[in-house]
């Protein structure tokens, strides 16, 4: 039996976020991208100053998931002007949900998604949205299972590689 809990990350968690962010992204995408593109993306995205700024942005929040006191995954959400695209004041974005490979299948991703859904409802958002790589079958199946639907596409640049993300959303006005 394992105990799963989620805590909001603060500036004290910067190095933990940086570490789990790099590790989970690498575990998820290293097999399908060049080492050069992966390194460039990881260096830019998880740069200490950039991550520190994101942690202090009043419209972004990070959450760490723990299983038995061990970090298992994390969540990043954005609202208002912190959203990566739509910038709709009625929208709530899940920018990242990542789980360490060793904890896949232990409901960590579902717990983080449920946390994001509750945060969106607490903020009275009318819909939740996210972008997911078109070739990430596991994530696409997960979001479809959670009733998100495709509504658009956009280009996501990983290193020098332009990839297509499917934009998905869930209407919260039910």
Q: How far is Cα 40 from Cα 159, in angstroms, rounded to an integer?
A: 5
Specify whether the CB–CB gap between 132 and 119 falls below 8 A: no
Ranges under pLDDT 50 in the chain? none
- What is the model's pLDDT at position 174? 66
Annotated active-site residue 143? The verdict is yes
Pairing of strands 127-133, 91-99: parallel
Residue 76 lies in a domain: yes
Domain region containing 125:
4-130
Number of domains in the chain: 1
Residue 144 lies in a domain: no
- What is the model's pLDDT at position 144? 97
Residue 30 lies in a domain: yes
- What is the model's pLDDT at position 25? 95
The DSSP annotation for 81-104 comes to GGSSS---TTEEEEEEEEE-GGGT
Residue 165 lies in a domain: no
Specify whether the CB–CB gap between 107 and 99 falls below 8 A: no
Specify whether the CB–CB gap between 144 and 156 falls below 8 A: no
CATH number at residue 44: 3.40.630.30
Residue 10 lies in a domain: yes
- What is the model's pLDDT at position 2? 77
- What is the model's pLDDT at position 86? 83
Residue 172 lies in a domain: no
- Model pTM? 0.94
The DSSP annotation for 105-148 comes to TTTHHHHHHHHHHHHHHHTT-SEEEEEEETT-HHHHHHHHHTT-
Pairing of strands 70-79, 161-171: unpaired
Residue 159 lies in a domain: no
- Out of 63, 113, 127, 143, the active site residue is 143
Residue 126 lies in a domain: yes
């Amino acid at each position: 039996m394992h105990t799963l809990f989620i805590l909001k990350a603060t500036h004290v968690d910067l190095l933990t976020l940086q570490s789990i962010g790099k590790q989970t992204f690498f575990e998820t995408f290293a097999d399908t991208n060049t080492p050069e593109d992966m390194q460039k993306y990881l260096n830019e995205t998880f740069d200490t100053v950039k991550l520190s700024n994101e942690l202090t942005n009043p419209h972004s929040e990070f959450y760490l998931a723990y299983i038995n006191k061990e970090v298992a995954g994390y969540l990043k959400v954005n609202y208002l002007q912190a959203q990566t695209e739509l910038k709709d004041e009625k929208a709530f974005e899940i920018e990242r949900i990542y789980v360490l490979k060793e904890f896949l299948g232990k409901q960590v991703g579902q717990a983080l998604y449920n946390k994001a859904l509750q945060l969106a409802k607490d903020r009275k958002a009318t819909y939740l949205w996210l972008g997911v790589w078109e070739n990430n079958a596991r994530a696409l199946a997960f979001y479809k299972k959670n009733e998100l639907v495709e509504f658009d596409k956009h280009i996501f640049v990983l290193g020098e590689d332009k990839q297509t993300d499917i934009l998905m959303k869930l209407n919260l006005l039910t």
